[in-house]
């Protein structure tokens, strides 16, 4: 895959060829600041990669963390901006299952309300397994391991926000550094439940992010992960192909999709994802159900570089939940207002401190990039791919 920067001459030639018929051709190069990566294999070739065995064996991407040493965000009351939205074909968040729990998970890290790094005092309404939401599912892809020098199969969570477009985290699309690898072989399965994929899987050959996610001076500015990535814009869109019957994943008679709300006001949030790092209760390889967190929105933070914001709230989850939707109710409808990006303090399920290699991690404070008008612009561009 490569970042598309098609020469102007090609667009001009296309326009000249169409001019005789009165048609016109728009330039295909992305607007400044938008990066598009394209897998040039056919949908059939991408689909053939994802055998049932590969889907079962895919590894969850670890949720990134920001240490206290790199934090340089200023807590503010709230960003300013009039809410702006797109409408979806679904208006309700179902999915809060009877297995949900309330209060603290009963583990020792919650004995004290610390404010370590970007850790927030525990304030959660409920968490636990939930019923699937049709438009929410798993984004599968192949990623590169620098330490092992191999490509491996991985996945994040994601949400349909248009009939053929999935919102997920930018770190699920490519590494957050200028020399970073772009993930490839994308496919999306809505409403995953155990080994069931009721709407099938949908391949993707195009994905869009902001270049600031991985470029200087943003990716290594204060308040971001030491490994790179501008968390103020840790979101992107995966553009899906139609299935063999010509259907989009988010068609009304399929999984449907949710509207995206930019500049959302402060309220309670509801997150849904597919965590499976270690033996996570919410999702195992043989029985995979979504895992939810419901909590009040606790924090707005602004980055000194670029001026972007993120939101913070209490949640108990782990790897695989990255990119999962953060819902808010607005004017009687549910909208997606962020995608899960990173977490505060890291806890280890085996009690190690710091986490040992291979140990299972989880967090209790999570953040998502605050979706503003730029998010709507990126979504509108993705609709043209």
Select the more confidently predicted residue: 301 or 282: 301
Q: What is the DSSP string of 170-227?
A: GGGTB-SSTTPPBPEEEEEEET-BTTB-TT--EEEEEEEEEGGGTSTTTTTSTTS-TT
Tell whether the model's pLDDT for residue 236 goes beyond 70: yes
Tell whether the model's pLDDT for residue 166 goes beyond 60: yes
Query: Please, which pLDDT band fits residue 17 given cuts at 50, 70 and 90?
Result: very low
**Residues in CB range of 114: below 8 A, 6 or more apart:** 121, 345
Angstrom distances, CA of residue 306 to CA of 20, 33, 213, 334: 45, 13, 11, 29
Tell whether the model's pLDDT for residue 167 goes beyond 60: yes
State whether residue 28 is helix, strand or coil: coil
- The string of pLDDT tens digits covering residues 25-48 is 334 678 899 999 999 999 999 999
Burial classification of residue 149, based on how many CB atoms lie within 10 Å of its CB (0-12 exposed, 13-18 middle, 19 or more buried): exposed
Percent pLDDT > 70 in the chain is: 78
pLDDT of residue 322: 96
Question: Across 18-27, 183-192, 273-282, 295-304, which has the greatest mean pLDDT?
Answer: 183-192
pLDDT of residue 91: 52
Tell whether the model's pLDDT for residue 22 goes beyond 50: no
Q: What is the DSSP string of 213-280?
A: GTSTTTTTSTTS-TT---GGG--EEEEEPP-TTS--TTSTTTT----BEESPPS-EEEEEE---SSS-
Find out whether 206 and 151 touch, Cβ atoms under 8 Å.
no
């Amino acid at each position: 895959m490569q970042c598309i920067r098609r020469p102007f001459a090609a667009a001009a030639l296309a326009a000249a060829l169409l001019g005789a018929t009165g048609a016109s051709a728009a330039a295909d190069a992305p607007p400044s600041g938008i990066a598009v990566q394209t897998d040039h294999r056919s949908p059939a070739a991408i689909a053939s990669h994802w055998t049932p065995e590969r889907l079962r064996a895919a590894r969850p991407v670890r949720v990134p963390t920001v240490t206290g040493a790199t934090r340089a965000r200023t807590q503010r009351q709230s960003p300013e901006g009039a809410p702006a939205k797109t409408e979806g074909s679904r208006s309700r968040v179902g999915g809060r299952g009877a297995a949900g729990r309330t209060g603290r998970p009963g583990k020792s890290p919650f004995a004290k309300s610390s404010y370590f790094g970007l850790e927030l005092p525990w304030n959660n309404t409920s968490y636990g397994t939930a019923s699937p939401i049709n438009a929410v599912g798993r984004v599968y892809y192949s990623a590169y391991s620098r330490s092992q020098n191999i490509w491996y199969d991985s996945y994040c969570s994601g949400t349909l926000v248009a009939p053929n477009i999935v919102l997920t985290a930018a770190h699920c699309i490519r590494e957050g550094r200028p020399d970073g690898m772009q993930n490839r072989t994308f496919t999306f399965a809505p409403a995953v439940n155990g080994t069931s994929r009721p709407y099938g899987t949908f391949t993707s050959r195009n994905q869009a992010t902001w270049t600031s996610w991985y470029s200087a001076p943003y990716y290594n500015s204060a308040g971001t992960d030491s490994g790179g990535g501008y968390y103020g814009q840790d979101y992107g869109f995966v553009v899906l192909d139609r299935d063999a019957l010509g259907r989009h994943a988010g068609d009304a008679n399929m999984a449907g999709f949710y509207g995206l709300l930019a500049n959302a006001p402060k309220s309670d949030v509801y997150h849904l994802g597919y965590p499976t790092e270690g033996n996570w209760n919410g999702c195992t390889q043989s029985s995979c159900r979504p895992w939810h967190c419901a909590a009040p929105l606790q924090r707005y933070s602004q980055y000194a570089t670029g001026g972007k914001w993120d939101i913070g709230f209490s949640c108990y989850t782990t790897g695989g939940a990255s990119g999962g939707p953060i819902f808010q109710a607005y004017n009687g409808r549910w909208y997606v207002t962020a995608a899960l990006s990173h977490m505060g303090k890291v806890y280890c399920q085996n009690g190690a401190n710091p986490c040992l290699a291979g140990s299972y991690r989880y967090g209790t404070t999570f953040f998502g990039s605050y979706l503003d008008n730029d998010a709507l612009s990126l979504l509108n561009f993705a609709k043209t791919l």
